[in-house]
């Protein structure tokens, strides 16, 4: 049985794509089981409740050599703890290529689109398979989540076409209303501990040579005032993460989904200097205004990569 999973601190695409790809592979004669690498965020929990579906189980410890398929990620730092010992046979992803290496030739499908779900719809078509309603709603939800319903600059025409195709199959008549319900669920953070808020949508990236390790978190919300009300707690959680995980820096961006703005918490002089030199922005009271740079994948990480890259 092939184990299929998305990245740690899973988002709706990481969970949906594991479920959909495992089902697709099984239909194609490759028995597969979806797993997750962490707790569901509130948006993903809402989507699965809507579908009356169970979350995939947590990935158990896998013996060296176990065949696995990765979706929605490929960097070892965002994967199973012993990914280097596992046999990666397939990857379906829409992120930059990281440090993945394999011992056997794998199936790889990467496309620069807004969501893994968009690629999975293509895989259905290419296999000549119809799309079942549950899978359609999972892929639809993932695309709306990753592209913030086309607000993100990562959005491509393929994502728009996929949503137009999937919505009727999923039985969603008002796509914007459904997207807003997802974003509201994601923003209803209640009394979630600050350390958990920080890590909800959080990835660690190596930058430069020798590599520095940076934690880059994002809180996408329709209620930024709530997040700013917890600024001091979040800065403490960032400081703890930096110490515990041995990081060189930690950034946490608060993305206002509806107004398409990014204000980023600035932990210390280290982050302040990087934001000034890489993005040309100044911090005031521990917050830097990154304007409309709302995509970590397309606007934050590439700029940091260029900034930390060794001089040619």
What is the contact surface with Mn ion in residues (CB under 5 A)? 13, 72, 116, 146
Least Å distance, CB 56 to Mn ion, is 16
Least Å distance, CB 112 to Mn ion, is 12
SS3 content of the chain, % helix, strand, coil (to 5): 40, 20, 35
Least Å distance, CB 173 to Mn ion, is 25
Q: In angstroms, what CA-CA distances link 246 with 213, 249, 284?
A: 8, 9, 26
Find the length of the chain.
312
Task: Compute the distance between CA of residue 280 and CA of residue 231 in angstroms, rounded to an integer.
Answer: 23
Least Å distance, CB 72 to Mn ion, is 4
Least Å distance, CB 93 to Mn ion, is 8
**Helix (H) / strand (E) containing 90:** strand 87-93
Contacts with 23 (C-beta within 8 Å, 6 or more apart), sequence order: 32, 34, 132, 135
Residue-wise DSSP of 262-308:
EEEEE-SHHHHHHIIIII---EETTEEE-TT---IIIIIHHHHHHHH
Task: Compute the distance between CA of residue 280 and CA of residue 260 in angstroms, rounded to an integer.
Answer: 19
The answer to whether 209 touches 244, Cβ cutoff 8 Å, is no
- Toward Mn ion, which CB reaches closer, 143 or 175? 143
**Helix (H) / strand (E) containing 161:** helix 157-170
Task: Compute the distance between CA of residue 146 and CA of residue 118 in angstroms, rounded to an integer.
Answer: 10
- Toward Mn ion, which CB reaches closer, 80 or 237? 80
- Toward Mn ion, which CB reaches closer, 33 or 74? 74
Helix pair angle (157-170, 116-126), 10° resolution:
70
Q: Residue number with the shortest CB distance to Mn ion?
A: 13
Least Å distance, CB 289 to Mn ion, is 26
- Toward Mn ion, which CB reaches closer, 13 or 43? 13
Other beta carbons within 10 angstroms of residue 223's beta carbon come to: 18
- Toward Mn ion, which CB reaches closer, 111 or 305? 111
- Among residues 122, 164, 146, the alpha carbon closest in space to that of 20 is found at 122
Least Å distance, CB 13 to Mn ion, is 3
- Toward Mn ion, which CB reaches closer, 124 or 242? 124
- Toward Mn ion, which CB reaches closer, 218 or 266? 218
- Toward Mn ion, which CB reaches closer, 116 or 223? 116
Least Å distance, CB 6 to Mn ion, is 8
H helix count then E strand count, the chain: 11, 11
């Amino acid at each position: 049985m092939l184990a299929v999973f998305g990245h740690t601190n899973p988002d709706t695409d990481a969970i949906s794509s594991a479920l959909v790809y495992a089902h697709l592979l099984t239909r194609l004669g490759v028995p597969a089981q979806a797993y997750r690498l962490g707790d569901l965020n509130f948006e993903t929990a809402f989507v699965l409740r809507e579908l009356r579906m169970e979350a995939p189980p947590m990935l158990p410890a896998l013996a060296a050599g176990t065949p696995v398929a990765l979706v929605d990620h490929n960097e070892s730092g965002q994967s199973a703890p012993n990914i280097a010992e596992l046999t990666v046979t397939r990857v379906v992803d829409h992120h930059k290529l990281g440090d993945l290496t394999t011992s056997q030739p794998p199936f790889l499908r990467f496309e620069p689109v807004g969501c893994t779900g968009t690629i999975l719809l293509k895989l259905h078509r290419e296999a000549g398979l119809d799309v079942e309603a549950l899978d359609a709603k999972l892929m639809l939800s993932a695309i709306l989540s990753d592209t913030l319903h086309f607000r993100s600059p990562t959005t491509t025409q393929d994502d728009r076409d996929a949503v137009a195709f999937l919505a009727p199959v999923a039985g969603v008549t008002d796509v914007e209303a459904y997207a807003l319900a997802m974003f509201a669920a994601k923003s209803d953070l209640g009394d979630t501990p600050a350390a958990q808020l920080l890590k909800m949508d959080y990835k660690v990236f190596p930058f430069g040579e020798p590599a520095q390790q940076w934690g880059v978190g994002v809180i996408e919300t329709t209620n930024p005032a709530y997040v700013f009300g917890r600024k001091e707690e979040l800065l403490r959680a960032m400081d703890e993460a930096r110490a515990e995980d041995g990081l060189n820096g930690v950034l946490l961006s608060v993305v206002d989904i509806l107004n398409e703005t990014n204000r980023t918490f600035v932990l210390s002089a280290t982050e302040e200097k990087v934001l000034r030199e890489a993005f040309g922005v100044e911090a005031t009271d521990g917050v830097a205004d990154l304007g409309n740079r709302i995509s970590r994948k397309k606007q934050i990480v590439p700029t940091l990569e260029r900034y930390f890259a060794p001089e040619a």
